[in-house]
Amino acid sequence: MREIFVDADACPVKDEVLRVAARHGLTVHVVSNSWMRLPETPLIRRVVVAAGPDAADDWIAERIGAGDIAITADIPLASRCLKKGAQAIGPTGKPFTDDSIGTALAMRDLMAHLRDTGEITGGPSAFAKADRSRFLSALEDAVRRLPPHS
C-alpha cells in the first residue's frame, strides 16, 4: 500500500493532503511534535514524536519507502526521502527531484549563511492561494505516478 507522510508541524496544506488521500484511498501519516486535531478516519495515522528538531524528520525517513510521497518544506528530509525512492513535494507545490535536490540543499545553506551574517533578514514569502492551488495539482500528479499496489 502506497502512503503519504506529512511533516505536519507548520504545514499549511494538511487539509488538502487529507482530501486528496481520501479521494484515492491512501493512508496518511501526519507526523508532528505535538497533538493536533485531525478527522477520525481509518486512513489517517496521527504520529506524535518526542520534542526535538529532527524527531519528526527521523520518524518519516525511517519509515517512508519507495513509491510513497512525502509532504515537507524541509529540504534535508526531502533529500532523505528521495534517496529511499519516495516522491517529495513542498507545501507550495514544488516537487523535489533527484535533479533539483542538490541545488536546493546548496541554496538552503547559502541562505542560512546570509542570514547568519546579517546580509538578509527576511524569511520566505507568505503562503498564497496560488501556492495552495499549485500544491493540489502537484499532489494529484504525484498520486497518479504512484506504482500500482503490490
0.85 exceeded by pTM: no
* CATH code for the part of the protein at 3-97+128-144: 3.40.50
> pLDDT band at residue 10, thresholds of 50, 70 and 90?
confident
Residue 116 has pLDDT above 80, yes or no: no
Residue 132: partners with Cβ closer than 8 Å, 6 or more residues away: 12, 13, 16
What's the pLDDT tens digit per position in 72-88?
988 899 999 999 999 99
Domain range summary for the chain, segments of one domain joined by +: 3-97+128-144
Q: pLDDT tens, 14-32?
A: 999 999 999 999 999 999 9
Secondary structure of residue 97 in the 3-state scheme = coil
- Three cell numbers, residue 122: 527576511
Contact (Cβ atoms closer than 8 angstroms) between residue 31 and residue 74: no
Assess contact for 64 and 9: CB atoms under 8 A: no
**pLDDT computed for residue 34 by the predictor:** 92
pLDDT on residue 127? 78
β-bridge partners, 45: 29
